């Protein structure tokens, strides 16, 4: 995919295809025919917390960053996790100050005991968790915010 660092598409494509095949949830924001951002929530329970689903992917393309798209995408994933009966969301984030700061501002907390299998896949990442009961998000507000940013959403 254009705009991704070399090797990223090769690494992420099999993970995203497996998530799709397992019933994962995908939400893409499009500007005309360009992908502006995407969120992917896995369907399998992970981690040691009860009813924890993984936010498998959250990405905003470079030209669309700093326009407020990340938070609505996250909030839509939270709403879907709740709809699926989850109580927690597991996040494995790129170890950059910007990325970790983004998740901490949303109410995520650094995880003390990461899932060993997920840790093995990306040992350099920072693991965070999001308590769906402690953090209230209204899905319709998130949907409205996303719709206002990009006229074509799917």
Instruction: Look at the pTM and tell me if it is higher than 0.85.
Output: no
- Structural domain includes residue 18: no
Residue 150: the pLDDT is: 45
d(CA 99, CA 5): 16
3-state secondary structure of 145: helix
pLDDT digits (tens, 9 = 90+) for 36-85: 999 999 999 888 887 999 999 999 988 999 999 999 999 999 999 999 99
- Token readout for 125 is 């990442």
- Given a cut of 60, whether residue 121 has pLDDT beyond it is yes
Domain membership of residue 83 (yes or no) is yes
Range(s) of the domain holding residue 145: 32-153
Count structural domains, the chain.
1
Assign 33 a pLDDT band (cuts: 50, 70, 90): confident
Report the CATH number at residue 57.
3.40.630.30
The answer to whether residue 113 sits within a structural domain is: yes
């Amino acid at each position: 995919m254009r705009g991704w660092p070399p090797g990223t598409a090769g690494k992420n494509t099999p993970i995203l295809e497996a998530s799709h095949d397992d019933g994962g949830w995908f939400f893409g924001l499009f500007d005309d025919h360009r992908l502006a951002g995407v969120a992917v929530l896995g369907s399998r329970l992970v981690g040691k917390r009860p009813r924890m689903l993984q936010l498998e992917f959250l990405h905003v393309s470079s030209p669309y960053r700093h326009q407020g798209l990340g938070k609505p995408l996250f909030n839509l994933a939270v709403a879907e996790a709740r709809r699926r009966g989850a109580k927690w969301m597991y996040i494995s984030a790129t170890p950059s100050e910007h990325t970790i700061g983004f998740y901490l501002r949303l109410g995520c907390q650094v995880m003390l005991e990461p899932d060993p299998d997920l840790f093995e896949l990306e040992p350099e990442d920072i693991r965070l968790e999001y308590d769906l009961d402690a953090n209230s998000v209204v899905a319709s507000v998130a949907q409205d915010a996303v719709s206002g940013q990009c006229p074509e959403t799917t």
